Homo-oligomer: A and B are copies of this chain.
Amino acid sequence: MRYELYYWPTIQGRGEFVRLALEAAGADYVDVARLPKSKGGGTSALMTSIDDPDTKRPPFAPPYLKAGKLIISHTANILQFLGPRLGLIPADVTSREWAHQLQLTITDLLVEVHDTHHPIASSLYYQQQKREARRRTLHFIGERVPKYLDYFERVLRANTKGKGKPHAIGRTLSYVDLSVFQVIAGLRYAFPRTLRRLEPDYPGLVALHEHVVTYPNVSAYLSSKRRIPFNEYGIFRHYPELDRP
């Protein structure tokens, strides 16, 4: 099956968690809005799709995935759907259930990352809410980042018990591993000072990040033009003035 991903074409954002899964599995997919306009792509294709009054079960927001007649929205839900189909989650129900919980925790973290630079409104520019962003980010890097990293380090240790390759679930690469990789990469980009200070406490997460890159499909993707660089339009943004304890 050829999957169609609908997401903003100029940022990693939430769509990147889906892109990473599709790429790691070597899936057949189209990143619709990244196609040229002449081939039915561009942001306008995305907007036309999301506003289509004929859609019976409309998504609230990107990212969403079209898989045949099905439309699946919400990042964690898309990954719950794709995981077994792409071989990115162990086959048993308990692992799948657990993976979804972990992914939903990442969803929560992403909202908090976004709101470091947009604590007042998504409809305003960062520059219009810098004061509040500074205040919110102080709490985020002081309290929330350690809380989330503690949690995922604990999950990783409970799974690996100090032996074998670092995986969040089971003994093989899962979409949760890919998402944790992306979280670490994003936090390093957005808050490099903070991460340099914190990383010694999270050897498992650092090892997982390193291990994920060794998968040939992943490394090929990361060095391709398909991987949009981090920038100041996405969720993880580097504003040096925010990255200070």
Contact = CB atoms under 8 A, between A and B. Distances in A.
Contact of A74 (B58, B60, B105, B154): B105
B101 A121 contact: no
B123 A57 contact: no
A120 B135 contact: yes
Interface stretch (A5-13, A36-44, A92-100, A200-208): A92-100
A139 B115 CA distance: 14
Contact of A101 (B72, B111, B132, B148): B72
Contacts of A151: 58, 60
A123 B140 CA distance: 10
A86 interface: no
A76 interface: yes
Contacts of A70: 94, 97
A35 interface: no
Nearest to A111: B111
A192 interface: no
A101 B57 contact: yes
Copies per complex?
2
A1 interface: no
Interface in A14-56: 56
Given A119-B120, A120-B139, A135-B120, A73 B56 contact: no
Nearest to A132: B132
Given A73-B104, A132-B132, 9 more contacts: A57-B155, A74-B101, A74-B105, A76-B104, A120-B136, A121-B139, A123-B143, A124-B139, A132-B135
22 contacts: A56-B158, A57-B155, A58-B151, A58-B154, A58-B155, A58-B158, A60-B105, A60-B108, A60-B151, A73-B101, A74-B101, A77-B101, A107-B107, A119-B120, A119-B132, A119-B136, A120-B132, A120-B135, A120-B139, A121-B139, A121-B140, A123-B143
